[in-house]
Amino acid sequence: MSLFGEFKINGNQLVAKETGVSIPLTAGFARDALSIASFVWLVNGVRASRVLKRRAPRARISFYPKKPRSFYAIWPVCQLADVKITDNHHEADLHFYFEDREFLTAPRQAPTNRPTFNVGCYDIRKSVVARVFEETFGYALAIDPVTWRGLAVEKSEGNGRHDGRIIDCPLATPQRDHVYQRLVDNTFDGRDHIDIRTPIVGGKIPFVYLKRREPSLRFTNDNYRVDLVDADAMLSIDEQAKVVDFASAMRLDFGGIDILRDRNDGRIYIVDANKTDMGPPSALKSNEKLKAMRGLADAFSSLVDKTVNGAGR
């Protein structure tokens, strides 16, 4: 399927046909699209140099039920990790469940009996994320809007909607298909809101992205600045261990987790998990984009080697 076949234009919105997620067609979107295209060209250049050197692939991987486009993080990661993407499931050493939707009633059957990444990660609705977070960390993000008193956040169950809004509780009639969460003050200085985007690769956290947003855009994905930061600088060893436990409980082998640190109580809260992570963030500096993808590729290489050699599952 072509890239244009996956989207439609509705007014001033670009709408993903599969998920219904809308992206405003603004000057910022055009700038981000150009940034992504430039990065893809860079990765293709690295890939071409390796082909010319006739380097054998580390492994062959197939994706199902569909193959990722180049703007998804796993695509450049495979190129940089010397993992060849194949359409032939039977020649693949590994499979990767890849579907940009948040809920299935059961996992999709893998094409063969070879090892599969993310196969058990078929329900990433926000209510599930909040439940698994509470089970893992021992304290809650979710609130009951009927009994809670004070400010809270209301947002859709679905992934990638970016429709959170602050409300005043209690509510007489909560909205269906929405979740209600405590309002986390994720500012360092009371001004810019900071998301700690945390990549997960085979139970490892290679680094984190610090995504900065203005207060009026706190629930969007419109970052005015993104920094690449060592995980130890933002998360304690115990917090990292619990984040890894959370990913394991979600059966997330490769993806991204959104973490907020509350300025008032100092604790972290996981608010989202994504198994079809896009990346790198467009607001990240150009030289940092390749560094980030190389970091993910190194971690993915280790995961692939471990799995292909029979010790990963």
268 within 8 A of 259, measured Cβ to Cβ: yes
Q: Supply 206's token pair.
A: 């290679």
Question: Do 82 and 199 fall into the same domain?
Answer: no
CATH number of the domain within which 210 lies: 3.30.470.20
Average pLDDT of span 4-13 = 55
pLDDT, mean of residues 198-215 = 96
Residues in contact with 35: Cβ distance below 8 Å, sequence separation at least 6, in sequence order = 282, 286
The answer to whether position 79 is within a domain reads yes
Last residue of a domain, one of 95, 120, 145: 120
Is residue 219 in a domain?
Answer: yes
Mean pLDDT of 175-195: 94
| Same domain as 111, residue 83 | yes
Residue 50 C-beta-side C-alpha neighbours within 13 Å: 17
Shared-domain flag, residues 151 and 111: no
Question: Which residue in this structure is represented by tokens 């610090």?
Answer: 210
Q: Name the residue range of residue 81's domain.
A: 4-120
Residue 26 pLDDT exceeds 60 = no
Read off the DSSP letter of residue 118. S
Per-residue pLDDT, 43: 65
Alpha-carbon distance 248 to 57, whole Å? 28
Residue 313 lies in a domain: no
- Both tokens of 56, joined, read 């054998």
The number of C-alpha atoms within 13 Å of 90 and in the hemisphere containing its C-beta is 0
Is residue 310 included in any domain, yes or no? no
Residues 16 and 141 in one domain: no
Average pLDDT in the 185-209 region? 95
Overall average pLDDT of the 210-233 stretch: 93
Confidence of residue 25 (pLDDT cuts 50, 70, 90): very low
What pairing do the DSSP bridges indicate for beta strands 193-201 and 165-169? Answer: unpaired
Q: What is the pLDDT of residues 80-125, one digit of tens each?
A: 999 999 999 999 999 999 999 999 999 999 999 999 999 999 999 9
Kindly report the pTM of this predicted structure. Answer: 0.85
Structural domain count of the chain: 2
Are 179 and 127 spatial neighbours (Cβ–Cβ below 8 Å)?
Answer: yes
Q: Is the pLDDT of residue 287 over 50?
A: yes
**Paired tokens of 65:** 């039920």
The token duo for 209 is: 């992205």
- CB of 143 within 8 A of CB of 182? yes
What is the dihedral sign for C-alpha 173, 20, 285, 255? positive
Predicted pLDDT at 172: 95
Q: Last residue of some domain: 120, 152, 183?
A: 120
In a shared domain, residues 289 and 141: yes
Residues 137 and 259 in one domain: yes
Per DSSP, the three-state class of 21 is coil
Q: Which of 205, 148, 207, 179 is nearest to 271 (CA)?
A: 179
* pLDDT exceeds 50 at position 200: yes
Is residue 307 domain-resident? no
For residue 13, being part of any structural domain is answered with yes
